[in-house]
Structure 1
Amino acid sequence: MTKIDIFDPAMCCSSGICGENVDQEVVDAAAAVSAARKEGVDVARHNLASAPLDFASTPVVRELLESEGADSLPAVVINGEIVLKGAYPTLAQLRAWTRRDSAGNSDSQVAHDGRSELRAASPSCCGGASGCC
């Protein structure tokens, strides 16, 4: 099973959904992660403020922080590879990253800027069913 790790910038609480000025992008990401987990996706979030050792012990994230700084966060890591940086994943991306073909290849590719490019698996997010998304 694919494990997805999301490395968040430093936030005041583990979810990032606290305080007076809540960032809608963080709210959307939390909702996507929650929905993905309910579907059985193995996804974990790591907050730079509360879990700095997670960042230090993950080579690609440590290198990213050393070369680009904390402004490059959030970063999504799958199997030791950064598949997205500078933005939170959508639920569709989380789902796509967990689909594998028989050769073990992912349904996503990493673009030159670090953002993922997803191949469409079907005309809709529900595999062709209408009205469910």
Structure 2
Amino acid sequence: MDRMPTLIVGFSFTYYIEGYLYIMEIGVIMMKNIKIYEPAMCCDTGVCGPGVDQELLRMKSVNKVLEQHDDITIHRYNLTNSPESFMENELVTKLLQEEGPNVLPITLVDNLVMKKGDYPDNEEWEKITGIAFTTEKEKKDVNTGGKCC
């Protein structure tokens, strides 16, 4: 997959001072800002209820990987723990008013809605960030040719 370039503006200045040539390169680095607004729940790991929510565990792993990249910031907001974050974002507030709580989770990238009503899957995360995400099952399928043990 092609990754969107992080260098969005680049140019150089050439100038002379006292007979010496100086070249100054200037670039503006664009950082991806990801915000995920989640429904009310007691925790973000998926292990706080009677059953384990595999999707929340996957999201925890995705979050951990994205936090390791300097050009990406990611924040997850839970309606139970951070209701003020929902109210501060006009777009999220509008979506909740128009579509109701089933619109959650909402994934924003640079304040644009990338997905609503569900979390991005691994392929969608790769398109958004340029980072490949593989689940343990996918790794096992690749290693065994899709066959069980």
**Counterpart check, 1:30 vs 2:60:** yes
5+ unaligned residues in a row in structure 1: which ranges? 100-124
Provide Cα deviations, 1:36-59, integer angstroms capped at 9, x if missing partner: 222443111000000001011111
Q: Which moved more, 1:22-31 or 1:12-21?
A: 12-21
1:4 to 30, 34, 37: 34
| Equivalent position SS for 2:81 | coil
The residue aligned with 1:116 is none
5+ unaligned residues in a row in structure 2: which ranges? 1-30, 134-141, 143-149
Summarize the alignment of residues 38-57 of structure 1 with structure 2, pairs less than 5 Å apart.
38-40=68-70, 41-57=72-88
Distance in 2 (CA, whole Å) between partners of 1:16 and 1:51 is 17
> Aligned-residue CA RMSD in angstroms?
2.3
- Between the two proteins, the alignment pairs up a number of residues equal to 103
Distance in 2 (CA, whole Å) between partners of 1:45 and 1:84 is 14
| Equivalent AA in structure 2 for residue 27 of structure 1 | L
Percent identity, please: 31
2:48 to 9, 18, 24: 18
Larger radius of gyration: 2
Quick one: structure 1 residues 93 and 36, their matched pair in 2 at CA, closer, same or farther if it must change by over 3 Å?
A: farther
Distance in 2 (CA, whole Å) between partners of 1:67 and 1:55 is 14
The residue aligned with 2:16 is none
Provide Cα deviations, 1:17-45, integer angstroms capped at 9, x if missing partner: 32222211111111111122224431110
Q: Greater share of strand residues, 1 or 2? A: 2
Tell me the TM-score normalised to structure 1 length.
0.66
The residue aligned with 1:117 is none
